[in-house]
Chain A
Amino acid sequence: MAERYSGLRWRLIDGLIGAGRILRPGRLGRLQPYVLMLPAILLVSVLAVGLIYLGWLSIHAYDSFLMQQGGISAQQYLLLFEPPSGPFYQQTLLRTLLLSLTVTAGAVLLGLPLAYVIIRTPRRALRVTLLVLLLVPFLMGEIVRTFAWYLILANRGMAGWVAGLFGIEDGGLLGTPLGVFIGMMQVSTPLATLLIMPAMRRIDPNLERAAATLGASPARIWANVVIPLTWPGIVAAIVVVLLLNIAEYDMPAILGLGRLPFVANVIGDIYRLQQNLYLGSAFSLLLLVVSTLVVVLPGLLFLGWLRLRRRQRRMAA
């Protein structure tokens, strides 16, 4: 051990121990965990304060011609909800929610069998390869994923080339909801899989074997054994994937060619093109509220369902 800590390193360690003697962290007693958390609390407070400030900005009038803040008013929210501009914002919100929900559903449906294979396969090489493949899209960044799909889906892209081999002429998937959907699936499916895995890992393989011995078909085993026991993981996957997709920017901007703007694109334009922080604040908060509702609702329903089931069981017993 001594060889690993040479000269300078030892001096540094001595310094730290000396500093510890002077500062005596033990003296803090019950405050110790709070002192340890202080830097993190300060950092996250930047976001908390920012969100509160958004609320403050969103309830003010704004003169976009003079670029001046007015008094307290509901102007920004009226812009979001009332004609002539309201329908556009609501349509954008609806499109964002519908596509995000579709992507989430697709990601969970594909993630379930994949998680199952990773957990049940006896081959370590396959498991590690799949895990590596799942983590890479998550770390390569939104813009690189979008770039990749642009190369695949564009007019003269790879998908068009492959289709051409089969004699199909198509104009590419850019600018269509399907193109945006495929692009968003690339990161959503791995994320859903990784979130489903911990819950699925706790399932005793003997349960499936028992079901099979008793004559259950694979579909029946999935419906009555695997899926019910994986619910906590499925709910976690739905929540996280949905939250990620609701804020999507690059895929609709590049793969959708701007024809299918998401809330994030519109918020970006409100700032970049109109320099209007006030309207942007209101729309950001609206998205925050809607996404919280969409995410919290299934969670509450799930908890309610669990409680109901427990009560039914108690009554049966």
Chain B
Amino acid sequence: MNGPVIRLSVALVILLVAVPLAIVLLASVSGGERLTFPPESLSLNPYRALIGNGEIRAALGRSLIVGFQVVVLSLIAGVPAAIALVRFRFRFRFPLGLFMILGVATPLIASAFAFLALFTWMGSLGSLWPISVGITVVNLPFLMFSVASSLFSLDPRLEEAAATLGAEKVQTFLFVTLPGIMPGILSGTLMVFVLGISEFVISLLLYTINIQTLPIAMFASLRGPPPPEVAAAAGLYVLAAVLVVVTLTSLKSTEQFFYRND
């Protein structure tokens, strides 16, 4: 357990993961006109520049709209589908379950190109919803796994007991199933939201010049020396990711998901 090889690899991974987080947060509070290491001084200037830059602000707004649309679509599609796959035995259960992970099994760039070709043919490029649909299809399994894992740990006999006591299907769902799988729905929702606001490849193929999302705007500005407002935007993403992960861990569902304490 405490061998030198293991210790060295753990230290390496911590460096690999934590240094980028630290550098983004540090750059987002740097004082200089240009981003340098170490920063000349510390200030909130990058965040002020972000608020002052209308284009970046609009891109941030668009990314939040995409995130919201992705959450709504994922919930409508993902929650009932997860319930069907876990609680029902039906003929095409296995092939349909496989079909659901099509978006994860296809290389992202191929999926993005498929959306591009299809939405070009439909003439619907130029609005945000095609981007949201694409992102939802690709990230749907994350919400479904999360909901399914809470369903697995919810005793089906509770639902049967409610039915025996005279509850109608809707009542059973609202008062027994839904509260039971709420942690799973919540963690899945948080995950697809963050993945939605930070998604890049699908947006890259489907954006038109007046609907740039924040990752696209950031990518465009990385062609030259990065301006401070990009560091602030990156800082916001890191803060959002840390916030979501800490929430997930305190919901206990992450540990339940990856590491059951049994």
A interface with B by C-beta (< 8 Å): 13, 16-17, 19-21, 25-26, 30, 32-34, 36-37, 39-44, 46-51, 53-54, 57, 109-110, 113-114, 116-121, 127-128, 130-137, 139-152, 156-158, 161, 182, 185-186, 189-190, 193-194, 197-198, 201, 218, 240, 243-244, 246-247, 249-250, 253-254, 263-264, 267-268, 271, 277, 280-281, 284-285, 287-288, 291-292
Cβ of B165 within 8 Å of any chain A Cβ, yes or no, is no
12 additional contacts (CB under 8 A) given A36-B81, A110-B9, A139-B240:
A26-B169, A44-B140, A47-B102, A128-B249, A139-B244, A140-B241, A143-B198, A147-B222, A158-B23, A244-B108, A247-B107, A263-B109
Chain A residue contacts of B113, Cβ below 8 A: 54, 267, 271, 280-281, 284
* Contact between A16 and B174, CB atoms less than 8 A apart: yes
Interface size class of B (residues with CB under 8 A): 35 or more
Chain B residue contacts of A246, Cβ below 8 A: 107
Chain A residue contacts of B23, Cβ below 8 A: 148, 151-152, 158
Residue of B nearest to A134 (CB): B17
Chain B residue contacts of A136, Cβ below 8 A: 17, 21, 238, 241-242, 245
B residues 12-56 touching A (CB-CB < 8 Å): 12-14, 16-21, 23-24, 27, 35-38
Known: A150-B226, A284-B113. A144 touches B237 (CB 8 A): yes
Chosen A-B contacts, 18 in total, with CB atoms closer than 8 Å, are: A17-B170, A20-B169, A39-B81, A43-B77, A43-B137, A47-B114, A113-B9, A117-B6, A118-B259, A119-B259, A128-B249, A130-B14, A137-B17, A139-B244, A143-B234, A144-B238, A201-B259, A264-B109
Residue of A nearest to B25 (CB): A148
Chain A residue contacts of B242, Cβ below 8 A: 132, 136
* Contact between A37 and B80, CB atoms less than 8 A apart: yes
* Contact between A277 and B116, CB atoms less than 8 A apart: yes
A-B interface, 9 closest residue pairs, ranked by CB to CB distance from nearest: A141-B198, A50-B114, A20-B170, A148-B20, A40-B81, A36-B84, A33-B88, A247-B107, A264-B109
Residue of A nearest to B20 (CB): A148
* Contact between A247 and B109, CB atoms less than 8 A apart: yes
Question: How far apart are B179's CB and chain A's nearest CB, in angstroms?
Answer: 10
Cβ of B205 within 8 Å of any chain A Cβ, yes or no, is yes
Neighbour of A267 across the interface among B93, B109, B200, CB < 8 A: B109
CA distance A109 to B37 in the complex (A): 31
Known: A48-B102, A139-B241. A152 touches B111 (CB 8 A): no
Question: How far apart are A120's CB and chain B's nearest CB, in angstroms?
Answer: 6
Neighbour of B110 across the interface among A145, A151, A185, A288, CB < 8 A: A288
Chain A residue contacts of B116, Cβ below 8 A: 271, 277, 280
Neighbour of A37 across the interface among B19, B96, B103, B255, CB < 8 A: B96
Neighbour of B133 across the interface among A46, A120, A253, CB < 8 A: A46
Residue of A nearest to B216 (CB): A143
Chain A residue contacts of B197, Cβ below 8 A: 141
CA distance A30 to B91 in the complex (A): 10
* Contact between B259 and A149, CB atoms less than 8 A apart: no
* Contact between A140 and B36, CB atoms less than 8 A apart: no
CA distance A307 to B138 in the complex (A): 33
Question: How far apart are A236's CB and chain B's nearest CB, in angstroms?
Answer: 12
* Contact between B198 and A142, CB atoms less than 8 A apart: yes
- For B237-253 the 0/1 string (1 means CB < 8 A from A) is 11011101110110000
User: Which of A120, A131, A287: most chain B CB closer than 10 A?
Assistant: A131
* Contact between B254 and A137, CB atoms less than 8 A apart: no
Question: How far apart are A262's CB and chain B's nearest CB, in angstroms?
Answer: 9
Known: A30-B90, A50-B114. A186 touches B20 (CB 8 A): yes
CA distance A114 to B11 in the complex (A): 9
* Contact between B106 and A288, CB atoms less than 8 A apart: yes
* Contact between B5 and A113, CB atoms less than 8 A apart: yes
Residue of A nearest to B222 (CB): A254
Chain A residue contacts of B191, Cβ below 8 A: 139
* Contact between B18 and A133, CB atoms less than 8 A apart: yes
* Contact between A110 and B245, CB atoms less than 8 A apart: no
- For B67-97 the 0/1 string (1 means CB < 8 A from A) is 0000001001110110111001010110010
Question: How far apart are A32's CB and chain B's nearest CB, in angstroms?
Answer: 7
Known: A54-B113, A147-B218, A277-B117. A152 touches B246 (CB 8 A): no
Chain A residue contacts of B117, Cβ below 8 A: 50, 53-54, 57, 277, 280-281
* Contact between B195 and A139, CB atoms less than 8 A apart: yes
CA distance A283 to B241 in the complex (A): 33
Cβ of B183 within 8 Å of any chain A Cβ, yes or no, is no
B residues 173-219 touching A (CB-CB < 8 Å): 174, 191, 194-195, 197-201, 204-205, 215, 218-219
* Contact between B170 and A16, CB atoms less than 8 A apart: yes
* Contact between A36 and B24, CB atoms less than 8 A apart: no
* Contact between B110 and A40, CB atoms less than 8 A apart: no
User: Which of B13, B83, B226: most chain A CB closer than 10 A?
Assistant: B13
* Contact between B254 and A142, CB atoms less than 8 A apart: no
CA distance A267 to B240 in the complex (A): 31
CA distance A263 to B222 in the complex (A): 20
Chain A residue contacts of B219, Cβ below 8 A: 143, 250, 253-254
CA distance A288 to B106 in the complex (A): 6
CA distance A304 to B114 in the complex (A): 34
* Contact between A250 and B200, CB atoms less than 8 A apart: yes
User: Which of A197, A250, A263: most chain B CB closer than 10 A?
Assistant: A250
